Structure 1
Amino acid sequence: MTTVAVFVRPPEPGTVLESCVDTGAVTAAEAADLYAAMVRDVCAAVEASGGELLVNYRPVNADDPTGPVEDDESLAAVRDVVDEALSDPGSARYEVQVGTSFSARAGNTVTHLLEREEVKSAAVVRPTAALLERRHVDSAAMKLRQSEVVLAPATDGGVAYAGFTDPIDFEDAFAPPEVETVTDRACDGGLDVDFIEMVPVAESPSGFATLLSHIRARQRAGLRIPPRTSAVLDDLGLRAEAVDDSLAVGRD
C-alpha cells in the first residue's frame, strides 16, 4: 500500500490558483470554488484506490518566520472541503505541512513516511491534478514494486504525482522543469525511475487551459470526468480556446 499525501491549503479567495486569477481566467472567488472542487475529486480518487490518503494541510501561519505550527482553523477548513468527497471521512489522515518550499515540504513528508513510519512507498500529489483517477494511483503502486521512483508528468514540465520507495536528495528537487529535476536526483542516487501517463495540473494558465480542454473532450466522448470540478467549470461556462496559437481559458 502506498501512502499518498495530497498537499492542500484552505481554499480562501486570493490564496489559490493565483496565476489563473492574475490572467483573468477566473475571479478569486471562482478560483477558491474551483480549487475546492479539484481537492475533493483528487482526494476521492486516492480514497478509491488501494492507497492510504494523507492530507497534508498548509496552515494560515505557514509563512511565519518561527515556522508553521498546527492550526485548528486551517485544519477545520480543509476537513470541511475533503470530508464531503469521501465515503469514509474518518479513514483520512491529516498532518500539517512543514517546509519553506514545495521541495522541502515534499521531502519532509516522504522521508518521514519512509524512514520513521517505515511505509513501503510514499507519494505526493498536487490537488490541482483533477483528472487523477484511482487507476493512476494503482498503476503507480504496481510500478513502485519494480522502480524506486514513479512519476506522472504534468503540464509545463511539472509533476502531478511523485511516488518513492527510497528518498532522494529533495533540496530544490521540484525546481522547474520538475519532471527532469526529480528524475535527475533519482538517477544521481542510483535509483530506477518509471512513469505513468501525463496528468494535467491547473498550476498555471496554460495548465488550467489544458486541464479544461481534456475535461471537455472527455465529456464529449462520454468518458469519466472529475464530477465536482466539471460541475464548477460548467457553472462558470469556461472553455479552452486558441489565442495567438496558444491555449487560453474563455467563457461561453
Structure 2
Amino acid sequence: MTVIAVFADPPRPGLVLPELAESSPLSEEEAADLYAAMLKDTVRAAERSGGELLVNYRDEESADASDRSAEAEVRALVTDALSDHDEARFEVQVGSTFAARAGNTVSHLLGEEDAQSAAVVPGTAPMLTRKEIDSAAMKLRRNEVVLGPSERGRVHFAGFTDTIDFEGAYASPAVETLTDRAVDAGHEVGFLPTETRVATGTDLLSLVPELNARAAAGRIVPEHTATLLREWGLRVADGDAGPELVRTQTDSS
C-alpha cells in the first residue's frame, strides 16, 4: 500500500496561489477559494485510491497570522471533502523548504513506519485521479521512483520505495532534478502521464478548456474545482496576444 502524503496549506488569501491572483482574472480571495476546491478534489482522489491518505499541513509559524489554526482550517476542508465514514490521518510538515519537508515525510514513512511506498502530492493537482494513483502504485513495484510531470518541468506526483538525496531535489525543473537524484542513487524511474498543476494563470489556460471539454463530453471531472470554475464563468478566448482567460458571467454571491 502506498501512503499518499497530500501537502496542504490553509486556504488564506495571499498565502496560497499568490502568482495566480497576479496573472489571472481571479482575486486573492478567489484564488484561495480555488485552492480549497482543488485540495478537496486531491484528497478525495487519494482517499478513493488503494493507498492510504496522509494530509501534511503547513505549520502555523510558516503561515500568515489568523484567528484559526492552520491545522483546523485544513481539517475542516478535508472533512468536508470526504464522506462521513472516511477518515484522514494528519501530520504537520517539518522542514524549512518544500524539498526538506517532502524528504522528511518520505524518509519517515519508509524508514520508521515501514511503508512499502510513499508519495508526495501537492494540493494543487485536481486532475490527479484514483486510477492514476493506483497506476503509480503498480509502477512502484518495478521502479524505486515514479514521477508525474506537470507543465514547465514541475511534478504533480512523486512516489518512492527508497529514498534519494532530497536537498534541493525540487529545484526547477523538478522532474529533471528528481530524476537525476534517483539515478544517482541507483534507482529505476517510471513516469505517469502529464497533468496540470495550478500555480499561475498560464496553468488555468490549460486546465479550464480541458475541464469544459470533459464536462461537455460527459466525462469525469474534479467536482469541486469544475463547479467553482463554472460558477465563475471562466473560459479561454482568443485575445490580442493569444489565448486568454475571460469571464462570461459574474458569480452572484
TM-score (norm. length: structure 2): 0.92
Alignment map for 1:52-67 (pairs within 5 Å):
52-62=52-62
The residue matched to 2:136 in structure 1 has which SS?
A: helix
Q: Structure 1 residue 240 and structure 2 residue 236: aligned?
A: yes
Take 1:167 and 1:245, find their aligned partners in 2: how far apart are those partners?
Answer: 44
The residue matched to 2:61 in structure 1 has which SS?
A: coil
Sequence identity percentage: 50
CA 1:190–1:227 in 2, change beyond 3 Å: closer, same or farther? same
Unaligned runs of 5+ in 2: 249-253
Take 1:11 and 1:98, find their aligned partners in 2: how far apart are those partners?
Answer: 19
User: What is the aligned length?
Assistant: 246
The aligned amino acid for 1:29 is E
Conserved? CA contact 2:16–2:35, under 8 Å? yes
Take 1:198 and 1:61, find their aligned partners in 2: how far apart are those partners?
Answer: 33
CA offsets per residue over residues 135-184 of structure 1, 9 Å max, x none?
Answer: 01000000000000001111111100000000011011011111111011
Alignment map for 1:26-175 (pairs within 5 Å):
26-62=26-62, 73-88=69-84, 91-175=87-171
CA offsets per residue over residues 223-252 of structure 1, 9 Å max, x none?
Answer: 110011011101111112344665542211
Shift of residue 220 of structure 1?
A: 1.9
Conserved? CA contact 1:210–1:247, under 8 Å? no
Conserved? CA contact 1:153–1:161, under 8 Å? yes
Shift of residue 60 of structure 1?
A: 2.7
TM-score (norm. length: structure 1): 0.92
Shift of residue 62 of structure 1?
A: 1.8
Look up the match of 2:196.
Answer: 200
Look up the match of 2:216.
Answer: 220
Unaligned runs of 5+ in 1: 65-70
Q: Structure 1 residue 177 and structure 2 residue 188: aligned?
A: no
CA offsets per residue over residues 42-63 of structure 1, 9 Å max, x none?
Answer: 1000000001000000023127
The aligned amino acid for 2:77 is V
Shift of residue 219 of structure 1?
A: 1.3
Take 1:175 and 1:50, find their aligned partners in 2: how far apart are those partners?
Answer: 30
Q: Structure 1 residue 231 and structure 2 residue 219: aligned?
A: no
Segments of 4+ moved more than 4 angstroms: 242-247
